[in-house]
Amino acid sequence: MSVLNISAYKFVTLDDREDLRARLQAQCGARGLKGTILLAPEGINLFLAGAADTIRGFMDWLHQDARFADIQAKESWSSSAPFRKMRVRLKKEIITMKVPDIRPEAHRAATVSPAELKAWLDRGQDDAGREVVMVDTRNAFEVDAGSFVHALDFGIERFSQYPQRIAAQQDDFAGKTVVTFCTGGIRCEKAVLYMNSLGMRNVYQLDGGILKYFEEVGGAHWTGHCTVFDDRQAVDPGLAPARVPMPHRGRPRRSPAQKKTGTAVPVHAEIRLLIAAESVPHGGSCNGLPRFRCRPPAATRRSPWRSGGRRQHPC
C-alpha cells in the first residue's frame, strides 16, 4: 500500500483563518494532496492522503508555524487515496459540541495511554483497584461497526447530544474509573472536560483515540472495526482498510421514549447489537450500571455507503 493517510488536530486559537485557509489550500494543491482540513476559532482538524514524502513534506511546512510545531499525526496506509478532493473548510468548532465554555486549549483532559489502558483491561481494574468502565463517545452507526468489549454508548446521532446524555446518568459512574474513547481523540478532549465540569472524577480519555490504540496495542479487548470518514469506510485493528459492509448510520427502530431519555446501552462482546423499540430494562445490572439497557440482536442493516446512504462526519 503506497498511500499514506494521516489525521491530526490541535486546539489552539486561530485569528487568521481566512489567510490560513488560503495558504493551506495552496500548499496541499501544490503537493497533490487529497482530504479535508477544518479550521475554527478553537483550532485545526485535518485528514490528508498522498505519497509519503509529500505528506511528510507538508507536515514539515506546517510545523514551521509555531502554533502547530507540536502537532502529531496518526498514520495508516491504503492502496489508493480515500479522498476525492482537497477541501479546507471554515467551521464554528472543529468538533461540534455546542458547549462554548469547554475550551481544551486552556486545559487538556486527563489521558491514559493505549498500553496502560490495555493493562487495566487485562486486570479488570485500574492501578487503584477501581472498576474500569469504557464509554464510547461516537455516533451510533460508528459503534455498530466496532467498539471495545463491554463498552457503553448512548446511541447518539451527533456528538452535540453527548452532554445531555452523560449529565442525565453521571451518578451511575460514581466510584468507577471512566475511560472515554473516540476515533482519534478529538471528541474525548471535550467530553472529559465536560464530565469534569459536572463534578465527575476519575475520568480519562484514551490518548490518541482508537487509531493510536490500534497502532500501539492492536486489537486487544476490541471487537469489530473502526469507522473512518473517507472512502475506506473502516479500518481493522491492523489499520488496513476493512472492506466490510458498514451498518446504517441511523437507528430507525429506536422508540420515541428511548430517544427522549437517551438511556445508554452496552456493546455486547460477541455480536453487534442495535437498539430496538421492544428493548426494555433488564433486571439486575450491566457492568454494575443498572440504568443501562442491553440491545437485542441486529436485524439486516443497510450500509450508508450504498446508494441512498450518506456519510456524516461526527462534527
CATH of the domain at 230: 3.40.250.10
Residue 314 lies in a domain: no
pLDDT per residue as tens digits for the range 53-69:
999 999 999 999 999 99
Residue 293 lies in a domain: no
Residues 120 and 262 both lie in one domain: yes
Cα torsion at 215, 217, 223, 227 (round to 10°)? -20
Q: Please report how many Cα atoms fall inside a 13 Å half-sphere around the Cα of residue 7, on the Cβ side.
A: 18
Higher pLDDT, 264 or 162: 162
Given pLDDT bands bounded at 50, 70 and 90, which one contains residue 182? very high
pTM, entire model? 0.77
**Residue (of 33, 60, 6, 70) closest to 211 by Cα position:** 6
Is the pLDDT assigned to residue 198 strictly greater than 70? yes
**Residue (of 294, 238, 229, 305) closest to 268 by Cα position:** 294
Contacts of 302 (CB under 8 A, 6+ apart): 248, 308, 309
Residue 82 φ then ψ, to 5°: -85, 5
Given pLDDT bands bounded at 50, 70 and 90, which one contains residue 242? confident
Task: For residue 20, give the CATH number of its domain.
Answer: 3.30.70.100
Listed in sequence order, the DSSP H helices in the chain are 17-31, 52-63, 114-123, 140-145, 162-168, 186-197, 209-216, 256-261
Given pLDDT bands bounded at 50, 70 and 90, which one contains residue 262? low
The lowest-confidence range among 167-171, 220-224, 262-266, 274-278 is 274-278
Residue 202 lies in a domain: yes
C-alpha distances (whole Å) from 215 to each of 10, 76, 95, 208, 276 are 20, 9, 23, 10, 34
Residue 130 lies in a domain: yes
Residues 41 and 176 both lie in one domain: no
Higher pLDDT, 265 or 117: 117
Is the pLDDT assigned to residue 23 strictly greater than 70? yes
pLDDT per residue as tens digits for the range 31-57:
999 999 999 999 999 999 999 999 999
CB neighbour burial string for 279-293, b if at least 16 within 10 angstroms, e if fewer: beeeeeebbebeebb
Give the active site residue among 182, 188, 286, 315.
182
Would you call 244 exposed, middle or buried from its count of C-beta atoms within 10 A (0-12, 13-18, 19+)?
Answer: middle
Residues 154 and 198 both lie in one domain: yes
Residue whose C-alpha cell is 487538556: 108
Pairing of strands 132-136, 146-148: unpaired
Residue 285 lies in a domain: no
pLDDT per residue as tens digits for the range 113-135:
999 999 999 999 999 999 999 99
Q: Report the chain's mean pLDDT, rounded to a whole number.
A: 83
The lowest-confidence range among 121-130, 157-166, 287-296, 301-310 is 301-310
What DSSP letter does each residue of 235-268 carry, written as one string?
Answer: E-TTSSB---PPPPS--TT--HHHHHH---EEPP
Rounded average pLDDT over 240-267: 55
Rounded-to-integer distance, Cα 296 and Cα 276, Å? 7
Residues 118 and 84 both lie in one domain: no
Residues 122 and 86 both lie in one domain: no
DSSP state of 225: -
Is the pLDDT assigned to residue 274 strictly greater than 60? no
Rounded average pLDDT over 224-246: 87
Residues 122 and 197 both lie in one domain: yes
Higher pLDDT, 25 or 306: 25
Question: How many of the other CB atoms lie within 10 Å of CB of 37?
Answer: 22
Is the pLDDT assigned to residue 310 strictly greater than 70? no
C-alpha distances (whole Å) from 142 to each of 101, 233, 234, 248, 312 are 27, 10, 9, 9, 10
Residues 38 and 138 both lie in one domain: no
The lowest-confidence range among 98-112, 145-159, 290-304 is 290-304
Residue 188 lies in a domain: yes
Residues 123 and 14 both lie in one domain: no
Residues 73 and 129 both lie in one domain: no
The pLDDT assigned to 73 comes to: 94
| Structural domain for 17, as ranges | 3-90
Is the pLDDT assigned to residue 22 strictly greater than 70? yes
Q: With pLDDT > 90 as the criterion, what percentage of the chain qualifies? A: 73
Is the pLDDT assigned to residue 83 strictly greater than 60? yes
Rounded average pLDDT over 139-152: 96
188 has catalytic annotation:
no
Of how many residues is the chain composed? 315
Count of domains forming the chain: 2
Given pLDDT bands bounded at 50, 70 and 90, which one contains residue 298? very low
Residues 115 and 86 both lie in one domain: no
The pLDDT assigned to 301 comes to: 33
Residue 292 lies in a domain: no
Residues 84 and 214 both lie in one domain: no
Rounded-to-integer distance, Cα 185 and Cα 86, Å? 23
Residues 77 and 170 both lie in one domain: no
Residue 315 lies in a domain: no
The pLDDT assigned to 246 comes to: 56
